Amino acid sequence: MSKLNVKKVIIFKHGVSYYILEGNVIGTGTFELEFKIDEMDDVLKSLFVLDTSEKGYISSISYDAALETSQLLKSIMLNIPDTGSLSSLITQIKGADVKLTVAGGKTIVGTIIGIEEIEKMNKNEKTVEKLLILLQENDEISKFNFSDFKSFDIQNEDIKKDLKFFLDTVISGKKKDAKKINIHCESGGEDEVERIVFVYYIRESPIWKTSYRLIMSKEQAQEEKCLLSGWSLIENTTNQDWENVELSLVAGMPVSFKYEFYRPIFIQRPIIRPLRVLSVKPTEIEEGLKMEDYREYEMDALEEVPRAMSKKAKMRRSGIPQPAPAGAVGYGGMMGVMSDDALLDKVKSQTQVQTKDLGELFEYNISNPVTIKRKQSALVPILTEVIKARRVLLYNKNEYGKNPNACLEITNNTNLTLERGPVTIIYDDNLAGEAIVPFLNKEDTRLLNYALEQAVLINHEVKTESLSVHKITIGSGYSYEYYYTNMMTTYKIQNKTSEEKEFYLDHPKTHGYNFIEKPIDPEETPNYWRFKITLKPKDAITFKMKEQREDYSSNYLRNWSRDDIFKRVGFYVKQKFINEKLEAQLKEIAELIQDLNQKKKKQSKLVEERNQMSDEQSRLRENISVLGEDTQSITLKERYIKKLDDQESRFEKISVEAKKLNKEIDSLNKTIENKLNKLKT
């Protein structure tokens, strides 16, 4: 069995790795690979084997079946237990021809008849002696003691194959989650020539993870740059050691999927059956704000204090040699040992990576060979670059109400694509904090928040006011009155430090609102307006802005009375919202609505009168039905009947009058509706 060694591993971000293995073989040979059952689908769908010699070739690739051990053994006649194996084997191959070599080197050929057991007493102990019964070539039946066997050779080739298959299957079954792939190589006639065979496949693997270190000295902070060191965490979860392998890390998300390739697939067929006849903290006291200490932030303030330029920076621009700093210049534990440039050169020499842009993907090729033992992990350096970086403060009232975040504004001015990952930030020989680097393309700029600046305090106030109606529109029977709503926001910002601060204020976007007053122009993000402010040391400012939105209220004209319409029309005319023609139309509609309301009122009275009459008629009829035939009763009946006749006459008049009113109301409704639809501003 020849051996394959891992030569190259390409690890992707979507859960698979691409492996290239290399092995040497002379003559006919076999390479063996072992995988978990769940890995077999990916391996089999991607496996490619290449014999690089002129005549050598791959004759076949075999692999363990997907069936369980018990299912595989059903296909053969042998089933050998863990104890009494020889006896059980002989019993199961009764009738097979065998060749025995017994004591003295004598060879015996015969056919197995069976086994006989004889009990014997030996020093008061009972023992069982097993004898093999054979039918020899001369037709003699002979007995041979098991203890006399030197060798036992089965002459039947089918039984030999079954026995070998049984043993191979049992050995494979000991690794319940392991399956083997055997690659059979042929020399093509050149049996003495050493050939190189390459094997390629993909298998499921952990994604490679990226972490960063951002290291900045005070001098570099003034120069707005820092050292970025990137590391990748690699995990070897395979059963093979990676010895000096070529390692590539690919960023991006190519299409990948699992395909059921390994296990046998059976098509489900319909079953047709014959017909049957079946019978849920302490309170923190707020610090007081002295209003007289705050000054209003204006554009002039920016002109008074130019963009931060330290004394050192001015000296560099003028070409004056800089004095040596009081302490040593360097990073972290290297303070006093290495300068910034020396540290950069040293770290960069240890990071040898070639990169390649693959369109949708980006590849890091680790130049130095990597060794990772099986089931172990390693941190591998993938980049060392100086990038643009600025220390700023970022305030967002939705995150921390009183304090801003301390941030690094970094720009990926390298030739690399930066993968997402955690970053540890070291500033001036100390831990500043931690952050997450997002996915960064070339020249992308992002803010990394790594700490809370508690020495800068912010308080914000919001007030809203609704202004008077400034215009109206009329249409479809509605009057729309438009007015402005103003929102005034004041940020009170106090810098308690003795340093000048670059302060970014993220003001939330509010739907429909536009700025009408602001101290400076902001930048825009998807959800915020970002104002960039310079805070003087020990200073306090108020930053005010006013936003405005147009709102409206709608009124259905038919819900207004004549007096309501006249009142609104008077207001519209006074504000010059409508012309004389529209004024006349509205007043005409108001009169019609007045007429309509009067008729409806009259209609309601008629309906009420009719209902009262109906109730009274029912009462009169009940009274008549209980009166007798005496003189007094007859007199009452006549009076009730006359009253009924009078009411019936009134009832008829009401019906005629109500019918006429209904027609007039319908006509008025149509007239009003038509005139309302013709209204237009």
pLDDT (mean) for 280-284: 42
Q: Which of 411, 63, 58 is nearest to 224 (CA)?
A: 411
Nearest to 412 by CA among 375, 377, 387: 387
Domain boundary residue, one of 111, 131, 155: 155
Q: pLDDT tens-digit profile of 246-274?
A: 998 887 666 777 777 666 666 676 776 66
Q: Same domain for 201 and 220? A: no
Domain boundary among 390, 422, 452: 452
Residue 125 is predicted with a pLDDT of: 77
Assess whether 435 and 365 both reside in one domain: yes
Same domain, 118 and 151: yes
- Residue 189 pLDDT level (bands cut at 50, 70, 90): confident
Phi, psi at residue 488, to the nearest 5°? -105, 125
The reply to whether 550 and 650 lie within a common domain is: no
**Does residue 268 sit within a domain?**
no
Last residue of a domain, one of 558, 575, 600: 558
Q: One-letter amino acid identity for 88?
A: S
Tens of pLDDT, residues 329-387: 334 444 445 566 655 555 555 555 666 665 556 788 887 888 999 888 988 888 888 99
Beta strand pairing call for 225-236 and 376-396: antiparallel
- Of 419, 450, 446, 447, nearest in space to 435 by CA: 450
451-490 as b/e: b if 16+ CB within 10 A:
eebeebbbbbeeeeeeeebeebebeebebbbeeeebeebb
DSSP state of 95: T
Average pLDDT, the chain: 81
Q: How many domains does the chain have?
A: 5
Is residue 427 situated within a structural domain? yes
pLDDT at 320 over 50: no
Q: Which residues of 648-680 are buried (b: 16+ CB within 10 A; e: fewer)?
A: eeeeeebeeebeebeeebeebeeebeebbeebe
d(Cα 65, Cα 72) in Å, to the nearest integer? 8
b/e per residue, 384-414, with b = 16+ CB within 10 A?
A: bbbbbbbbbbbbbbeeeebbbbbbbbbbbeb
SS3 596: helix
325 pLDDT band (50/70/90 cuts)?
Answer: very low
Residue 87 included in any domain: no
Q: Please report the pLDDT score of residue 275 as a whole number.
A: 56
Q: Report yes or no on 276 lying in a domain.
A: no
167 and 225 housed in the same domain:
no
Q: Which two tokens stand for residue 443?
A: 């020249």
Say what the pLDDT of residue 176 is.
Answer: 58
In terms of domains, do 426 and 337 share one?
A: yes
Q: Are residues 438 and 386 in the same domain?
A: yes
pLDDT tens for 537-552 read 999 999 999 999 999 9
Q: pTM, whole model, 2 decimals?
A: 0.63
Inside any domain, residue 665: yes
Judge if 471 and 409 occupy the same domain.
no
Cα–Cα distance measured from residue 480 to residue 679, given in angstroms and rounded to the nearest whole number: 13
Q: Are residues 400 and 540 in the same domain?
A: no
For residues 660 and 618, state if they share a domain. Answer: yes
**Domain residue limits at 532:** 456-558
Shortest CA distance to 385 belongs to which of 404, 364, 400? 364
Reported as a pLDDT band with limits 50, 70 and 90, residue 641 is confident
Res 128 pLDDT > 50: yes
Neighbours of 383 (CB within 10 A): 21
**Which of 91-95, 291-295, 449-453, 646-650 is the least confident region?**
291-295
User: For residue 430, with 0-12 CB atoms within 10 Å meaning exposed, 13-18 middle and 19 or more buried, which class applies?
Assistant: exposed
**Candidate ranges 53-67, 92-106, 317-331, 568-582; pick with highest mean pLDDT:** 568-582
| CATH code of the domain containing 120 | 2.30.30.720
pLDDT at residue number 336: 47
Residues 219 and 119 in one domain: no
Of residues 248 and 163, which shows the higher confidence score? 248
CA separation for the pair 543, 299 (Å, rounded): 11
The answer to whether residue 264 sits within a structural domain is: no
Rounded Cα gap, residues 196 and 192, in angstroms: 13
Q: Do 305 and 387 belong together in one domain?
A: yes
Residue 321: pLDDT above 70? no
pLDDT at 326: 32
**Residues in Cβ contact with 305 at an 8 Å cutoff, skipping those fewer than 6 apart:** 500, 534, 536
Residue 286 is predicted with a pLDDT of 39
Q: For 194-217, what is each residue's pLDDT tens digit?
A: 999 999 999 988 888 899 999 998
Report residue 584's pLDDT band, with 50, 70 and 90 as the boundaries: very high
User: How large a percentage of the chain has pLDDT more than 70?
Assistant: 81
Residue 111 covered by a domain? yes
Using alpha carbons, list the distances in angstroms from residue 57 to 27, 185, 196, 294: 11, 6, 11, 85
89 within 8 A of 78, measured Cβ to Cβ: yes
CB 149 within 8 Å of CB 100:
yes
**Average of per-residue pLDDT across 458-468:** 94
- Residue 333 in domain: yes
Q: Which long-range contacts (CB under 8 A, 24 or more apart) does 569-575 make?
A: 572/472, 575/469
